[in-house]
Structure 1
Amino acid sequence: MSSSKSLDTTSIRRDRFPHLTAIDTRWMDNDAYGHVNNVVYYSFFDTAVNRWLISQGLLDIGTSDAIGLVVETGCRFFAPLSFPDRVTAGLGVQHIGTTSVRYEIALFRNDDDIAAAIGHFVHVYVDRTTRRPTPIPSATRTALESLRLTS
């Protein structure tokens, strides 16, 4: 998704995403204006991606040889979230390269079908020891294909 494109928020619906995960807001997530602070949205993105990787057996935080480092992230906000909302993160993959993957993540408030925010998150896979780029492991690549977005 390019920031120069006009985005039709009515097209960002739950059913677009191959994987959904629930994330609870916390009292401390609210800022002085009574809504979830923007930095927390990035934490939700990180949680959605890494929770999926761990649940698929693709990431062991302490021992995986190849690890994904975040090199880019962005967010567009459409509607506020606030405590005690339940957030559902929709997770999909836009692009898979040799050493990188670009995720698209949408955040849905409670039972809303239209996204309150949408963002992207890019992992570059590196060797844990050398921190040099390395190809995405084949099992990870196969699993990422199951999250590929069709449009």
Structure 2
Amino acid sequence: MESSMKKPAPDQHDFHFWTDEKFRIADTDLNGHINNNAVGQFYEAGRGEIISSVLGPPAKRSIGAALARVQIDYLAEAHYPGMARIGSRIARLGTSSITIAQAIFVEGRCIGMAESVIVFLDKATRKPTPMPDAVRDGFTLLG
């Protein structure tokens, strides 16, 4: 059973891998703040960059990768115009998966956090496959 206690918001020092994204007018909702769909896309951009930093571009990867789970906690509003700084780190290394912890910061303030599980796949069978040692070593450095 999960605890009902909220996790404290992470600090910028908790992350060493960064992705910057500019807010667009299209990212806003009827209340004038950055909408939940845009926030999900910011986390996706951060995940894509941290994974690509180890595996390279998708067309050249020796193994596939698929998002198996994502959990997002919204902590505060953000408004256009502005920038999102997405901090990412590897929180857990499994045999055939990684867990990525992320947070979005706007002007130094944490507005949300996410945790995602990525499963690595054999490109031919599309079934989970263990990470090669070089891939594991690459993700270990990003924890």
**Does the TM-score normalized on the shorter chain lie above 0.5?**
yes
Return structure 1 stretches of 4+ with deviation > 4 angstroms.
none
Tell me which amino acid in the other structure corresponds to 2:17: H
Q: Shift of residue 8 of structure 1?
A: 2.1
Aligned partner of 2:23 in structure 1 is 25
Q: Shift of residue 5 of structure 1?
A: 3.6
Task: Supply the RMSD in Å over aligned alpha carbons.
Answer: 1.6
Greater Cα offset, 77-86 or 96-105: 77-86
Aligned partner of 1:108 in structure 2 is 105
- Could you tell me whether the CA contact under 8 Å between 1:58 and 1:139 is conserved in 2? no
Q: Shift of residue 138 of structure 1?
A: 2.2
TM-score, length-normalised on structure 1? Answer: 0.86
Aligned partner of 2:129 in structure 1 is 134
Separation of aligned partners in 2, 1:101 and 1:19 = 15
- Give deviations 1:8-66, integer Å, cap 9, x for gaps: 23xx1101112122111111111111111112222111111212332x25132123231
Give the counterpart of 1:119 among 114, 124, 134.
114
Give the total of aligned pairs: 142
1:76 equivalent in alignment to 2:73: yes
TM-score, length-normalised on structure 2? Answer: 0.90
Aligned partner of 1:36 in structure 2 is 34
Percentage identity across paired residues of the two chains: 23
Separation of aligned partners in 2, 1:144 and 1:57 = 7
Aligned partner of 2:94 in structure 1 is 97
